[in-house]
Amino acid sequence: MKHLEISDDDAVRLLLDEAEVAPSEQLESSLLALRSAGKASSAPEPSGELMVFMTTTPAPAPVVPLRRHRNVRGALMVAAALAGTGLGVSGVAAANPDFRTAADQAVHNVVGFFAPSAAGKAERADHAEHGVPAGIPAAPDRTQPNDDSGPETGTGSDSNRPADPAADPATDAAHPAPPGHSLTPGQSPETPGGNRSVKSDPNGAERDPVTPFRGLLPGTPPLDGTLPDPTKPDPPKDKPGKGLPLEDGSLPSPDPGRIPELPVAPEPQR
C-alpha cells in the first residue's frame, strides 16, 4: 500500500483548516519554514550497531572442531591402560604354580559341567565311586595314624577330631560305604576340608545338600510328612568315648590304674 504524498503547502492548509484558524500569509510562511527545517536536516551516519541491522550478514562458515580426535585418543588411552593392567596381572598369575594348578582344576570343572565328555564322565563316575562328587578334590588319605595324636582322652578337646574313630569322616571318605549300605546315625556329614559331602544313595539319586541327613538322624521327621513309628525302638545312641563313665555311672574299667591321670597344673612360683 502506497501512501499519497501531499505537498507542504497542502499540508499547512489542511492543518489550518482542521484547527479552524484563519489562514494568513505570515503564518503559512512560518509553518512552511518550520516544516522545511525538519526535512532539511540530513540523517546522521548510522552507527556500527545500526549497521548490523542494515547489512546482510553472510552465512556463517561451518564450524570445524580443532580437536576432532579427542574421543578416539581417549579411548585408545583407556584401552592401553586396561591392556597393560591385564598383562601385568596375567604375568604375576602365570608365575605362581599354585594358581596354575587351581586354574587347571577350575577349567576342568567348568568344562566337565557344561560339556561333559567321555573322559569327564569317567572322571565323575570315578569320583562318585569314591564317594566324592565331581569337581571337589579328593580328600587326603588320613588312615595313617597321626603321630601327634597323643593319648585319647575322649574329652573332645579338639573339636576337629571326632571322639569315635569309627565316625572319622576322613576315614569314612577314604572307605566309603559299599553300595546298598546306608549311613548309620552318628556318622559325620562333613568332609575333612569342611566341604559338604553330597553322597548318592543306592539308587543313584543325589541327597539333598541342604538337609542331607533329614530322616536319618533321630528326632528328625522325614520330609514326606510321616511320623516315626512309636512301636519301633529308638535307634542306637552314640557310644560314650573311651575313658568316659558309662551311662549307669560305672567306670569303663574297674582297674584304677587304667584311669588316666589328670594333668596337674604346676604351682606358681613366688
Partner 1 sequence: MLSDDVVSAAQSGKAEAFSEIYAALAPGINGYLKVRGLEDHEGAVQEVFLALFSRIGSVRGGFTGLRTLAFSIAHARYVDDVRRRARQPQLSPYDPDADRRAVASAETALLETLGESDIGRHLKELKPDQQEVLLLRVVADLTLEQVAEIMGRSTGSIKQLQRRALLKLKSVVERKEALL
The residues binding partner 1 (CB under 8 A) are 1-5, 11-12, 15-16, 18-21, 24, 26-27, 29-31, 33-35, 37-44, 46-47, 49-50, 53-57
Of 212, 206, 220, 154, nearest to 187 by C-alpha is 212
**Which residues face 200 on adjacent strands?**
206
Give the burial class of 171: count Cβ atoms within 10 A of its Cβ; 0-12 exposed, 13-18 middle, 19 or more buried: middle
CB of 73 to partner 1, least distance (A): 42
Which residues make Cβ contacts (< 8 Å) with residue 228, sequence separation at least 6? 221
Q: Which is nearer to partner 1, 29 or 182 (CB)?
A: 29
Residue 50 vs 92, nearer CB to partner 1: 50
Greatest distance between any 2 Cα atoms in the chain: 164
Q: Least distance in Å: CB of 63 to partner 1?
A: 22
| Nearest distance in Å: CB 25, partner 1 | 9
CB of 60 to partner 1, least distance (A): 15
Q: Per 3-state DSSP, what percentage of the chain is helix, strand, and coil (rounded to 5)?
A: 40, 0, 60
Nearer to partner 1, 3 or 181 (CB): 3
Of the pair 19, 95, the CB lying nearest partner 1 is at: 19
Cell of 5: 504524498
d(CA 133, CA 198): 7
Q: What is the nearest approach in angstroms of partner 1 to the Cβ of residue 71?
A: 37
